[in-house]
Amino acid sequence: MSYLKIDNVGKVFASGSRRTEVLREVNLRIEKGQFVSVIGHSGCGKSTLLNMIAGLTPVTSGGIILEGAEVSSPGPERAVVFQNHSLLPWLTVYDNVKLAVQKVFGGAKSKAERHDWIMHNLDLVQMGHSVDKRPGEISGGMKQRVGIARALAMEPKVLLLDEPFGALDALTRAHLQDAVMQIHARLGNTMIMITHDVDEAVLLADRIVMMTNGPSATIGEVLEVPLPRPRDRLALAGHADYLAAREGVLRFLYERHRFVEAAE
């Protein structure tokens, strides 16, 4: 049985008599510990799919099953990191992570254990030195590190990343991509990431899910990325498998773009 099963899922948004079908018959199986990237043109329902896995948006048809249990609402076993870091500006770095730890482990860990767990996760993203700073006192990349630490501190079964590096400069983005790869290698989390960046998708993922254009989008292709781990971006730059995967994603996206232009 697959760890996470997306079974014939559809999503329709209704406003009065108007109905918009965003996703149709989405089927996907994800195994424990896999890193899956979801890519596609704007409006293809990538974030809607992620929100349904998170339990933030109800499915219209079909179902999502995680370890044998249906996903019907938000839960700590599915943590989300958004493009906007979503930190509370009046709380310190430490207290932003503490908020999640208290919610999930308030009755299961002692105060000392919760403190150690908070520091463990901040150290994991190299933010242990900034525990007393507030979000307004740290950079965008550091805020995202804290957001990742907060999500990891919930000890989720699935970590969901919705374009977490989209608003960052290229160098900061590269550093955080490397950090996420290290965390995935160390913890073996199941990760699903929405991205517009082809190189990011190929570098990070074991599988790349390519969405057709909306409305009524679905999965067009799923590409396996046969690159060994750990991965080094410089070493992979000329690797035949990296280039082949990159070409496969680009071809899919460009063909979809041409299809849209032809229909207009």
**242 and 113 housed in the same domain:** no
Q: What is the pLDDT of residue 85?
A: 73
Q: Rounded to two decimals, what is the model's pTM?
A: 0.92
Q: What is the pLDDT of residue 260?
A: 45
Q: Give the N- to C-terminal CA distance of the chain in Å, as an integer.
A: 43
- Looking at 109, 136, 155, which one is the last position of a domain? 155
Q: What is the pLDDT of residue 24?
A: 96
Task: Tell me, yes or no, whether 217 lies in a domain.
Answer: yes
**110 and 59 housed in the same domain:** no
- Helices 93-105 & 140-153, crossing angle to 10 degrees? 20
Mean pLDDT per 10-residue section of the chain, whose length is 264 residues: 93 91 96 96 92 96 96 93 88 96 92 96 94 95 94 94 88 92 93 95 96 93 94 90 95 72 42
d(CA 42, CA 50): 14
Total domain count for the chain? 2
Burial class for 234, CB neighbours closer than 10 Å (0-12, 13-18, 19+): exposed
Q: What is the pLDDT of residue 244?
A: 95
Measuring CA to CA, how many Å separate 35 from each of 29, 69, 124, 190?
12, 21, 18, 6
Question: Under a CB-based contact definition with an 8 Å cutoff, are residues 211 and 39 in contact?
Answer: yes
> Cβ contacts of residue 137 below 8 Å, gap of 6+?
none
